[in-house]
Amino acid sequence: MSKQVVVVGGGVIGLLTAFNLAAHVGQVVVCDQGEVGRESSWAGGGIVSPLYPWRYSPAVTALAHWSQDFYPQLGEHLFASTGIDPEVHTTGLYWLDLDDEAEALAWAAREGRPLSAVDISAAYDAVPILGPGFKHAIYMAGVANVRNPRLVKSLKAALLALPNVTLREHCQITGFVQDAGRVTGVQTADGVLQADDVVLSAGAWSGDLLRTLGLELPVAPVKGQMILFKCAEDFLPSMVLAKGRYAIPRRDGHILVGSTLEHAGYDKTPTEDALASLKASALELLPQLKDAAVVGHWAGLRPGSPEGIPYIGPVPGHDGLWLNCGHYRNGLVLAPASCQLFTDLLTGGAPIIDPAPYAPAGRLG
C-alpha cells in the first residue's frame, strides 16, 4: 500500500501501531502533543499481566495472552535493532490474601494458565523479605515486567531508523479534516496534515478529540501515582501484590510500588497523601524498604474505559478514521496484540484474534 497514515498519539500503542504499519504502508506520521512515550506509557509499572486477570472479560484475556507470549521476542528484536534493551524481566508474581482466590484458580484451570495455590511458607521461602502476617498465596510463573521507559525509548529509536516514518513531537492536534464524509487528515497548529487514514491512539485525550466530530467515546483520564525505591540488585526476586498494591523489581535493584486510582481530571500533580499511602503499602509488603530511599514519585493518566476493553477498528460513518485506544490499566500489557490486530484490520490481513469485541461500532455515543 502506498497510502499515508497519521497516528495521533505517541504512547506505546501509537508507537507500536506505527512500527507495525510501516512494513505495509507508504508513509507513517506519528503526532504527539508532547514528547513521545512520556504519558501513561512512561508512568506505569509494566507488569505484563492484568493485575487480576481473572476479573476481566474474555476480550481482555485474549489480548493479554497473545501479548504475554509475544513480549520476549519483541524485547529481543528491539534490543537487537536499537541497542536499547526494554528489559522484559521474567520474575513470576505472587498474589497474597486474595478475597477471590477460588475464582482466580478456576480461571487459571479454564484458561490453561500456570497459576496455582502455594503454601504461604513457600512464598516466604521464595521472597524472604516479605512482610509478616500473610496467610494465603497464589503464584503464576512466567509473568514478566517490561521496563516501560526503556520500551518507549527503544520503539522511538526503531521508528527513527525507518525511512518511511516521521515523528512529530510537540504537535498539537486540534481536530480532524473531512471531505464528503471521509476523514482526510488532521488539523495541527502548523496547518493541515493530509492522510489516507488517521489512527486515534491518544490515550486519556482520545475522547476529547473524538468529541470534535460529535462522537462520544467513553474514555476519560484516571490518575495513578507510583513511587520508586533503589535497593540491591537481588533485593526482590519476584513481583508481589496484596491489597491492590504491588512491588515490581527491575534488574538493577529499583523497586516500583503502585498504584493509586484517582478521578481527578487531567491533574497529574503528585500528592503527599498518595506518597504516604504508597509508602505504607510498601512497608507492609516489604518492611526492609524502610531503609531504602524513595528516588522517584510521579503520577500519570490512564485512559479509563468501560471494563477496560479497548476500541480497535474503524469508526462507523467516518471513513478513514480508526481507533486504537482506551486500554485503561493495561496499555503496556495489551499493546503487542492490540497493535497487531489493528494492523491486520487496516491492511486487510487475517486478524490474530476475533476483532468483534473491540469494534467501535455500537460502542460510541
* Sequential DSSP letters for 157-170: HHHHT-TTEEEE-S
pLDDT band at 192 (very low <50, low <70, confident <90, very high): very high
Contact 156, 15 (CB under 8 A): yes
* Burial class for 294, CB neighbours closer than 10 Å (0-12, 13-18, 19+): middle
pLDDT band at 219 (very low <50, low <70, confident <90, very high): very high
Contact 219, 305 (CB under 8 A): yes
Report the candidate in 119, 112, 114 with the shortest Cα–Cα distance to residue 96: 119
The sign of the torsion formed by the CA atoms of 192, 198, 202, 206 equals positive
Tens digits of per-residue pLDDT, 278-292?
Answer: 999 999 999 999 999
Tens digits of per-residue pLDDT, 95-143?
Answer: 999 999 999 999 999 999 999 999 999 999 999 999 999 999 999 999 9
Give the C-alpha separation, 27 to 296, whole Å: 38
DSSP state of 127: S
CB atoms within 10 A of CB 86: 24
Q: In whole angstroms, how large is the CA radius of gyration of the chain?
A: 20
CATH of domain 93-141+220-304: 3.30.9.10
Give the C-alpha separation, 154 to 221, whole Å: 26
Percent of the chain clearing pLDDT 90 (strictly above): 98
Delimiting residues of CATH 3.30.9.10 domain(s) in the chain: 93-141+220-304
As a whole number, mean pLDDT of residues 211-215 equals: 96
Q: What is the amino acid identity at position 341? A: L
Residue 159 Cα distances to 7, 22, 75, 168, angstroms = 13, 9, 15, 12
Give the C-alpha separation, 278 to 268, whole Å: 16
Contact 277, 260 (CB under 8 A): yes
Res 2: pLDDT: 83
pLDDT at residue 72 greater than cutoff 90: yes
Res 1: pLDDT: 72
Q: How many helices (H) and strands (E) does the chain have?
A: 9, 19
**Residue with cell string 505484563:** 48
4-45+150-217+307-358 CATH, one of 3.90.1280.10, 3.10.180.10, 3.40.50.1820, 3.50.50.60:
3.50.50.60
Percent of the chain clearing pLDDT 70 (strictly above): 100
Query: Could you tell me where the beta strands, DSSP code E, fall in the chain?
Result: 4-8, 27-31, 89-90, 93-96, 115-118, 137-140, 144-145, 165-168, 173-179, 182-188, 191-194, 197-200, 220-230, 239-242, 245-249, 254-258, 294-304, 311-314, 321-325
Delimiting residues of CATH 3.50.50.60 domain(s) in the chain: 4-45+150-217+307-358
pTM of full prediction above 0.75:
yes
